[in-house]
Chain A
């Protein structure tokens, strides 16, 4: 702990040294500015850098995105693009049957949509269940709990590219996964070449990479449950299963809901680790929405920024609804006095 503190201090010193010099140089001009604008006027100065960056790189693109989605052609800048109204949306939605991507004019979009729906429905359930079990296990009377917590948390910090490459290496035909099957006398499996296995791999790898994060949030929730409730239940001789259903689960429900929505929000946007692991393949088996947007907007030869914009706005709408849910849950909990 103290070693880590020292490290933070040293790193802090290295990082702040040039900034400190800058601060000293700014002293005189800023005092002049303050005399000009008054004490309260300095608020604008403090807000300015962040709001300028925020405005240019988040707010402006957000507004422009809507305009973008109503234009066509391959030109990059808005001034050179022609207005096409809702044509991009019509193209995305022109389908004989939405369930059959082949019948849609933009069939990869619907392939990506249904792949994402399948991914989200399987991954979210698996993630929440595994995170909950892990949190319950870590909440037991364990020695070295922080060590075990770290074990499950480790992959959370790894970069998606590293995660993708590690698992590509293990799941390739001559990899470690097939060694296990070989030792048990089974035939090797082409994990990343067969559609269903590749889908399962994308789900499994994303759970592996993030489950520690959600387990940690749930563990914090479990530890906030008052101990005397359990003591009272024990005095009454309540069976453990009943304790779980009647005490643990209801009191954990706010945290569980937040985790559920967070997992949903992340799962809808899945990209990095799956892109490195499978590249969206085999065929289109693991092509998810963000990769569709990336390929239509940037990577493919037939670039169509307007179409990518329209698709990203549709995804954004889903995410906004989910985030409103999450904020609602957080606020309700806060007003009840639980965090």
Chain B
């Protein structure tokens, strides 16, 4: 316990609090609330019913108002805890509300209408998680299809990225050939060209190849990342050439050298690139938005955006699906956060 308080009350030094200590903790705790709070609020809201979501001020926990069938009425009515004029309390259901007065009845005596000031009643509510928000989209909303599309794009793009980028990096780091400098220049030069600049001609290339409305049209333009080639090449340069010469003496073919020697030795760099590729491709938005116009081909991101743009947004489903979309990234974050942060600090790559 004392270690805990030591940790919390650690100061710049001496016995008094420097203003920088106060500021540091203000920044850290404020940052904690601001960075995690919105995501937690999303998860929390995703368990509320449509009625719960429409409520203002919003509650922290998801509540549902109890309802009860009353004789002579065709639908269930909300149940309230009412303080009566004589000071006693009773549970009544509300028939209708006229201004500040609610017309209520006792479920046991459905014919006697009691008039109650609305300030004297509170709804009977209980905590309840609307898990149906999650179940329903899985059953009716083609959610599995969107999920499948996203997984397919992410996995395929990552495999192709790793394979082609590592092959190119191998050629650029371990062979001397004419035009090597030119190829390197081309690759570095295109670091400057983001996708948003070549959207229109790229769209026509994809269409000409018959890849419009195809998941391959989403995958292929993203896999030849200059960053990937550059990063892997830098790593492969540290592998000693003697190793490769020795393998050649042993009559290993060039492909075997690449596959059996260089690739395993590049594993740490490949792992970093794989993590980034997964995050990039899972999160892609603008390019899939352009290439995919048929609903059954939508990736999760596009499906969510389309769903959010419809005139009558069903927030209870939308929030639940957003949470599901977030899950893989949160898992990556939780398990691989260290690799990612050291990868960024080392290479400035994102």
Interface residues of A (CB under 8 A from B): 1, 3-4, 7-8, 11-12, 15, 19, 23, 26-27, 30-31, 34, 39-40, 42-47, 49-51, 53-54, 56-62, 64-65, 68, 76-78, 133-134, 137, 140-144, 146, 148-162, 164-170, 174-176, 178-179, 182-183, 208, 212-213, 216-217, 219-220, 240, 258, 262, 269, 271-272, 275-276, 279, 290, 293-294, 297-298, 305, 308-309, 312-313, 315-316, 319-320, 323-324, 327
Contact = CB atoms under 8 A, between A and B. Distances in A.
B41 A176 contact: yes
Interface residues of B, number: 108
A30 B255 contact: yes
B258 A53 contact: no
Contact of B158 (A15, A76, A133, A144): A15
Contacts of A11: 274
A3 B57 CA distance: 43
B101 interface: no
A40 B199 contact: no
The B contact surface, by secondary structure, is helix
Nearest to A77: B204
B172 interface: yes
Contacts, number: 308
A216 B196 contact: no
A158 B326 contact: yes
Interface in B301-330: 301, 304-305, 308-309, 315, 318-319, 322, 325-326, 329
A28 to B, nearest CB: 9
Nearest to B259: A23
B199 A312 contact: yes
B69 interface: no
A276 B305 contact: yes
A220 B229 CA distance: 23
Given A7-B335, A146-B338, A208 B34 contact: yes
B54 interface: yes
10 contacts: A40-B177, A54-B186, A76-B207, A142-B28, A150-B337, A159-B283, A162-B304, A162-B325, A165-B319, A309-B201
Interface in B18-59: 20, 23-24, 27-28, 31-32, 34-36, 38-39, 41-42, 45, 54-58
